[in-house]
């Protein structure tokens, strides 16, 4: 449940966690007055976006819109979606709030896979598509807009949780903090669909999410980002748009199991890509129901994992 505005209840530490396309992530902490036995460790995502000065009328309008968004997010509850605890204005002059979420000790899917290479990647991919299906079938529908391994966090039950979908909603609706300007495609280039790359589609869609899911499957199984050997962005765009290339198959039994699903997800035309329900059903059939003994710290068992 979203606690709405947490300004004054939390503070941002100097412990830097990482940088993304939307901003910087720091370890946070509850201020003394807000601490109690049930307060979980937190992270603070500080937005790195230009914001024009606002007068009082504009600030009130923005505040109302943010509260409406928080009311929507307070209804979102799924085991594979990272819960948003609330927002906070870290600096008094900030127009854009920071986003407050629960800290995940196991890190993101890329880090987790490197640390525990024997953990079945299909369990992670099942969780991701299950969470994405929840977002796409929510009312109103929610598009994630930036699916990749670093935006998949692993909780203490070894369940994968999609994060940063809230940021995508804010960025698609630029009226939340911008008084001028047009909407532009958001996301990360290596995972970005052709229609977003070319500008044919200006904002992320459910179809572009499916494309990014295919790229994320490749990334989590292979251990490499898509198009790892292509260093230049212009060359990457040329490879995808002109040469219509996709990442090459590498030797992996897990990739063999998922390859037909992956190639369905990253087809050229958006309307030819499967919906989340179809992908979820295909992935579920190939997901192991029981995790065999692997070298992980003792945690609750993952038996009969299904939606």
Summarize pLDDT for 19-75 with one digit per residue, the tens: 765 677 888 888 875 555 566 788 888 776 555 566 777 767 766 766 666 677 778
146 noted as active-site residue? yes
For residues 98 and 57, give the distance between their C-alpha atoms in angstroms, rounded to a whole number.
Answer: 21
Domain boundaries, the chain: 10-102, 107-173+186-286
Summarize pLDDT for 196-253 with one digit per residue, the tens: 999 998 889 999 999 999 999 999 999 999 999 998 899 999 999 999 999 999 888 8
What is the share, in percent, of the chain residues with pLDDT greater than 70?
A: 74
In the DSSP assignment, the letter for residue 84 is E
Residue 45 annotated as binding site: yes
Q: Token pair for residue 46?
A: 């500080």
Tell me the Cα Rg of the chain. 20
Average pLDDT over residues 100-117: 91
CATH superfamily of 10-102: Phosphorylase Kinase; domain 1 (3.30.200.20)
SS3 content of the chain, % helix, strand, coil (to 5): 40, 15, 45
CATH superfamily of 107-173+186-286: Transferase(Phosphotransferase) domain 1 (1.10.510.10)
What is the share, in percent, of the chain residues with pLDDT greater than 90?
A: 45
Please give the model's pTM, rounded to 2 decimal places.
0.82
Return the C-alpha torsion angle 215, 156, 15, 34, nearest 10. 130
272 pLDDT higher than 60: yes
What is the structure's pLDDT at 182?
A: 35
User: Of the listed 3, 94, 105, 146, which one is catalytic?
Assistant: 146
Q: Token pair for residue 54?
A: 């606002």
Cα 85-107-66 angle, rounded to 5 deg: 25
Omega within 30 of 0 (cis) for the link into 140: yes
122 pLDDT higher than 80: yes
Examine domains 10-102 and 107-173+186-286 and report if their fold is the same: no
């Amino acid at each position: 449940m979203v606690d709405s505005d947490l300004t004054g209840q939390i503070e941002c530490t100097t412990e830097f966690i990482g940088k993304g396309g939307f901003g910087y992530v720091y370890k946070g902490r509850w201020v003394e007055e807000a601490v109690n036995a049930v307060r979980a460790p937190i992270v603070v995502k500080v937005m790195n976006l230009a914001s024009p000065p606002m007068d009082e009328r504009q600030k009130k309008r923005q505040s109302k819109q943010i509260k409406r968004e928080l009311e929507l997010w307070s209804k979102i509850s799924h085991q594979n979606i990272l819960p948003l605890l609330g927002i906070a204005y870290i600096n008094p002059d900030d127009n854009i709030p920071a986003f407050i979420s629960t800290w995940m000790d196991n890190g993101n899917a890329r880090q987790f896979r490197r640390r525990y290479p024997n953990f079945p990647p299909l369990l992670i991919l099942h969780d991701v598509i299950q969470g994405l299906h929840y977002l796409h079938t929510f009312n109103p529908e929610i598009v994630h807009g930036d699916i990749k391994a670093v935006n998949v966090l692993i909780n203490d039950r070894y369940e994968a949780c999609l994060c940063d979908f809230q940021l995508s909603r804010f960025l698609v609706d630029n009226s939340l903090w911008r008084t001028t300007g047009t909407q532009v495609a958001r996301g990360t280039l290596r995972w970005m669909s052709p229609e977003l790359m070319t500008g044919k589609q200006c904002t992320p869609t459910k179809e572009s999410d499916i494309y990014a899911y295919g790229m994320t499957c490749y990334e989590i199984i292979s251990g490499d980002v898509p198009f790892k050997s292509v260093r230049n962005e212009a060359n990457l765009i040329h490879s995808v748009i002109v040469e219509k290339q996709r990442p090459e198959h590498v030797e992996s039994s897990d990739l063999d199991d998922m390859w037909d699903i992956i190639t369905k997800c990253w087809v050229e035309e958006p309307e030819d890509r499967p919906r989340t329900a179809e992908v979820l059903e295909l992935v579920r059939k190939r997901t192991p129901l029981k995790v065999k003994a692997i070298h992980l710290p003792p945690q609750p068992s993952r038996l009969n994992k299904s939606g």
